């Protein structure tokens, strides 16, 4: 059964977003997404300081069989990519909501967060896809 933590926000492209106390957000891909991709072998992350628009491809996750773009759920500036993924891309598989986070971003407008899906809506989305 795929995990969908309640406290996170989601996108239709299977990214999750967590608001942090300092006003930044942490972004990753969902348990469902990592399961679909299979074992990841590489994660390409954006450089710190890069400005991204909402919906822009900002990272790539790669398995042996597929490569998928990860889209920015919010507009903003990249604070940091997860440095641990350079050597351990499998963290995205083993702990997608924890150690396997992808990017920390400072949103241009924190209000954009409210427009994302909540866990109930994302659960519904997955049910509809099946």
The contact set with other proteins (CB under 8 A) reads 39, 41-42, 44, 62-67, 69, 89-90
Give buried/exposed letters for 49-80 (b at 16+ CB in 10 A, else e): ebebebeeebbebebeeeebebbbbbbbebbb
Q: How far is the CB of 22 from other proteins (least distance, A)?
A: 29
The per-residue b/e assignment along 93-124, b for 16 or more CB within 10 angstroms, e otherwise, is: beebbeebbbbbbebeeeebeeebbeeeebbe
Closest distance between other proteins and the C-beta of residue 71, in Å? Answer: 13
Q: Nearest approach, Cβ of 81 to other proteins (angstroms)?
A: 15
Q: Which is nearer to other proteins, 62 or 95 (CB)?
A: 62
Q: Which is nearer to other proteins, 22 or 65 (CB)?
A: 65
Burial zone of 44 (CB within 10 Å; 0-12 exposed, 13-18 middle, 19+ buried): middle
Nearest distance, CB of residue 8 and other proteins, angstroms: 27
- Cβ closest to other proteins, residue 66 vs residue 115: 66
Of the pair 22, 87, the CB lying nearest other proteins is at: 87
List the beta bridge partners of residue 68: 61
């Amino acid at each position: 059964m795929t995990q969908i933590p309640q406290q996170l926000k989601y996108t239709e492209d299977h990214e999750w977003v967590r608001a942090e106390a300092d006003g930044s957000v942490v972004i990753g891909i969902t348990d469902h997404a990592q399961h679909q991709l299979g074992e990841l072998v590489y994660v390409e992350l954006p450089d710190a300081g890069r400005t991204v628009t909402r919906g822009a491809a900002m990272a790539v996750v790669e398995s042996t069989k597929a490569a998928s773009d990860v889209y920015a759920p919010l507009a903003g500036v990249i604070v940091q990519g997860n440095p641990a993924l350079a050597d351990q891309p499998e963290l995205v598989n083993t702990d997608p909501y924890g150690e396997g986070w992808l990017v920390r971003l400072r949103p241009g407008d924190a209000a954009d967060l409210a427009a994302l899906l909540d866990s109930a809506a994302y659960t519904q989305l997955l049910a509809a896809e099946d």
